[in-house]
Amino acid sequence: MLNSEQTEALRRALRDRERVLRAEIRDGLLRSDEEHYADLAGAVADVGDGAVAHLLADIEIAAVDRDVQELREIEQALVRLSDDAFGVCPDCDTAIDYRRLEAEPWALRCVDCQTRHERGFAHTRTPSL
């Protein structure tokens, strides 16, 4: 189990990352509103320029989506942090190595269980064009 010093260090790391992500999400949304990629795509005569404009819009949306997902994981970790079970892998019921939590404080599983989870469950097919 984690001692109080470790718990507080993880809480600070989670809060710091939460602040950074909120700022990145806000900035990304403001940028996408200001840049009007769709207007740019419609104003260009070259098909390649239009494709680049659409690609830029997609990249911006993907970045915001990634940040929102990470923010959700951090919020869930902050809730778990107040629980005595924080830092215990729900799959194998063993303690998650503190070095892993230092690197990724929102980690839900130990390395072995996370690896199994990613191989078996985490890869969902995304539609392609």
CA distances to 46, 58, 70, 89, 110 from 117, in Å: 45, 28, 17, 12, 10
| Whether residue 45 has pLDDT greater than 80 | no
- The domains of the chain, with CATH numbers, are 4-120 (1.20.120.910)
The pLDDT of residue 51 is 66
Using the predicted structure, report yes or no on whether residue 3 has a pLDDT greater than 70: yes
Does the pLDDT at position 39 exceed 60? no
Contact 78, 64 (CB under 8 A): no
State how far the Cα of 62 lies from the Cα of 125, in Å rounded to an integer.
Answer: 16
Element (H, E) at 94: none
Query: What pLDDT shows up at residue 63?
Result: 86
Output the pLDDT for position 54. Answer: 63
Tens of pLDDT, residue by residue over 59-69, are: 778 888 999 99
In the DSSP assignment, the letter for residue 97 is P
pLDDT of 20 > 90? The answer is yes
| Calpha distance 58→128 (Å, rounded) | 13
For tokens 């189990």, the residue is: 1
The Cα 41–Cα 33 span in angstroms is 14
Q: Is the pLDDT of residue 33 over 60?
A: yes
Q: Is the pLDDT of residue 75 over 60?
A: yes
C-alpha to C-alpha distance for 125 and 129, rounded to whole angstroms: 13
Q: Tokens for 54? A: 């659409």
C-beta of residue 60 within 8 angstroms of C-beta of residue 31 = yes
Q: Is the pLDDT of residue 126 over 70?
A: no
Q: Whole-number mean pLDDT of the chain?
A: 83
